[in-house]
Amino acid sequence: MFKKVLIANRGEIAVRVARGLRELGISPVAIYSEADRGALHVRSADEAYCVGPAPSAQSYLQGDRIIEVALACGAEAIHPGYGFLSENAGFARAVTAAGLTWIGPPPDAIVAMGSKTLARATMEAAGVPVVPGSGALDNADEALAFAKKIGFPVLVKAAAGGGGKGMRRVDREEDFKSAFDGARREALASFADETVFVEKFVVKPKHVEFQLLSDTHGKHLHILERDCSVQRRHQKVIEETPCPIIRPEVRRAMGEVATKAAAAVDYVGAGTVEFLLDIDQNFYFLEMNTRLQVEHPVTEMITGLDLVHWQVRIAAGEPLPFEQDEIVPNGASIECRIYAEDPSQNFMPSPGLIQHIQVPQGPWVRDDSGVFSGAEVPVHYDPMISKLVVWGRNRQDAIARIKRALGEYVVRGIRTNITFHKAILDHPTFVDGTYDTQFLARTIDELLETSAKRDPELEELATIAAVLASFEKDRAAAASFNAPGENSGGKGGDSWKLYGRYKQLQRF
C-alpha cells in the first residue's frame, strides 16, 4: 500500500480524500493556491505546498507543477478528486509517465467517454441502450433530414459537450436551422469544437446514475443507483438513493447495462454511468463520468462501502473481494449540497468570511465540509461549502432526518441555500418522489416564495422586534430581563416565551 499520496484538489473533496487516506494509514499531502493558504483541506493534510495564485488556471490546473510537487515530496500516487484535472487524460498520462500511480481510470477510458458521439457509438456497439440519435453532423440539411426521420422534438447537442452547453431543443421543423447553427456556435465557443449531433428529445426524464467499481483484474461491479434529478441549470442540488420510483426489474436491467458499459471501455476504479429514465421507465445511456462524484456519500451510506478506500486499493492493485450479489442496499440516503449563494438574488454566489458555522450532528448525520468558523470562502472557486448527508431506514425517515439536520445548521456571515433546501423537501413532488429533471425549473418561483417566508435571519429580526415590543408593554418582565433561568413561576409570561424563542433562534 502507498505511504504518501498527493491530493490534487481543494475544498470538501480534498478533506474527504484526506480522511480516507488517513484511515488506510497513508499520509495525505495537500496542494493549495494563494487564496487557500488557510483552508481546511490544507489543515487536514500532513504536508501542503502552494502551487500558484488564486485563479485555478494558475494553480489547481497546473498539472506539471503538481507532478513536480508530488515527486519532490516523495508521494507515490495522485488522487485528483472531482473537477479540475480529474478527467484530463493528458494529466493522467503525465502522472504515470512520471512514475507515479494515478488513482483514477485508464486515460483511454477517459478519452473514450469524453466525446459524446464516440461514447454513444462505443455504448451502442456494447449493447447499451442509447437515445435514438445521429453521429456527428456538420451539414444543416442532413441534420434536418435526420431530425424529421426520428421526429420532433429533438435535441441538438455538442459532441464535446456536458453541462448543457451547446444544447438546443427543437420542437418544429421551421426552427431547426437556427437552432443547429446556434448550437454549433456555442459548441465552438465553449469547447473549441463545433461538432454536434441530433437526439430524440426525452420528455420529463429522471437523471438516474449508477455507481461503478472496477478493479485491475477485470471485475466490474455496479454499486446501485442515485436519483440526481433535482438540478438547477445542470447543477445538482439534492441527490438520493435508492431512486424512489424505479421498478425493481428496471433497476436490475440498468445495473447490468452499467457494468457492460464499464467492461466495454476496460474501466478501472470508481466511475458513474448516467441514464435518462423516461416516464414509462425506458432508460437510455447519457454519459459516463470517469471520476468520483460529489454525491458519492449517499451510495456509501446505503452500502457501507468507502468509495475512496476502494479507489485507493484498486489503484494499488487489490482485487475487489465481493461479488455483485453481495452489494445489497440498506435503507435510504439523501444529500443536500450547501452552497454559499443567495437564492433570493438569483442564486448569486456569496463568498466571504464565515463568522460562525454550526454543523448539524446527531444520529446518522454526516456533513462533508471544506470550511470552519473563521474560514474565508474565496470568490475564485465553486461556491459549494459542504454536503449534508443523512441515512434513514426508509425514505420517509431520511427526509424527516435531513429536515431536522437542516434545522440545526447555522451559517453566519455569508448567505446559503439552506432554507431553499427546506422548501424543496416540503414540496409534494419531492415528497412523492416523482420529480424529474425539470422539477426545479418548473417550481422555482413557488420554492423561492416558500423559502423567503422562512428566512431564519428575517425570523430572528422579527422575533427580536416582538421581544422588545412585548417588554415595552410588560415592565415586570423587563425588570427581570437580566435573570434568564430564573423565569419560573410565570414571571413575564409571553415575554419570556418570546425571549426563549429568540435564544433558540440564536442557537449559540
Interface positions with ligand MV4 (CB under 6 A): 131, 155, 162, 164, 199-202, 205, 207, 231, 234, 276, 286-287, 437
Q: Which of 283, 176, 161, 180 is nearest to 225 (CA)?
A: 283
- Closest CA relative to residue 368, chosen from 40, 7, 30: 40
Return the number of the residue (41 or 120) whose C-beta is nearest ligand MV4.
Answer: 120
Q: How far is the CB of 119 from ligand MV4 (least distance, A)?
A: 11
The DSSP element (H or E) to which 49 belongs, if any, is: strand 47-52
Indicate the DSSP class of residue 456.
Answer: H
Q: H helices then E strands: how many in the chain?
A: 18, 22
Angle at 1 between CA 295 and CA 9, to 5 degrees: 40
Q: What are the backbone dihedrals phi and psi of residue 195, each rounded to the nearest 5 degrees, phi first? A: -65, 130
CA 31 to chain centre: 22
- With cell 515527486, the residue in question is 71
Helix (H) or strand (E) holding 148: helix 140-150
C-alpha 371/C-alpha 382 separation (Å) is: 13
Torsion angle defined by CA atoms of residues 88, 92, 97 and 98, in that order, rounded to the nearest 10 degrees:
100
Catalytic, out of 291, 337, 366, 415: 291
**For residues 225 and 367, which CB has a smaller minimum distance to ligand MV4 in the complex?**
225
CB of 214 to ligand MV4, least distance (A): 22
Residue 357 sits at φ, ψ, to 5 deg, of -140, 130
Cα distances (Å, whole numbers) of residue 429 to 343, 448, 477: 20, 15, 46
Q: CB–CB of 286/145 below 8 Å?
A: no
Phi/psi of residue 305, nearest 5 degrees: -90, 135
Nearer to ligand MV4, 21 or 250 (CB): 250
Rounded least distance, CB 425 to ligand MV4, Å: 19
**Within 10 Å of residue 363's Cβ, how many Cβ atoms?**
10
With H, G, I as helix, E, B as strand and everything else as coil, classify residue 481.
coil
Q: How far is the CB of 489 from ligand MV4 (least distance, A)?
A: 58
Reference 167, options 151, 153, 149, 150; nearest CA is 153
CB of 300 to ligand MV4, least distance (A): 22
Active site residue 172: no
- Using the minimum distance from each CB to ligand MV4, give the nearer residue, 163 or 484: 163
Nearest approach in angstroms of CB 132 to ligand MV4 is 8
Find, among 71, 68, 39, 69, the residue nearest to 54 by Cα: 39
Q: Which is nearer to ligand MV4, 11 or 133 (CB)?
A: 133
Least separation in angstroms between residue 268's CB and ligand MV4 is 23
Distances in Å between the Cα of 448 and the Cα atoms of 405, 424, 443, 453, 454 are 20, 9, 9, 9, 10
Query: From the CB of 212, what's the least distance to ligand MV4, in Å?
Result: 17
One-letter amino acid at 121 equals: A
Cβ closest to ligand MV4, residue 377 vs residue 424? 424
Whole-angstrom Cα distance, residue 385 to residue 351? 10
The alpha carbon dihedral of 176, 180, 181, 186 has a sign of positive
How many beta carbons lie within 10 A of that of residue 19, not counting itself?
A: 14
**Which DSSP state fits 202?**
P
CB of 345 to ligand MV4, least distance (A): 23
Q: Rounded to the nearest whole angstrom, what is the least distance from the CB of residue 269 to ligand MV4 in the complex?
A: 21
CA distance 189 to 349: 24
Query: CA angle, 158 as apex, 112 and 131 as ends, to 5°?
Result: 75
DSSP state of 369: E
Whose grid coordinates read 427543437?
A: 170
Give the residue numbers marked as catalytic: 291
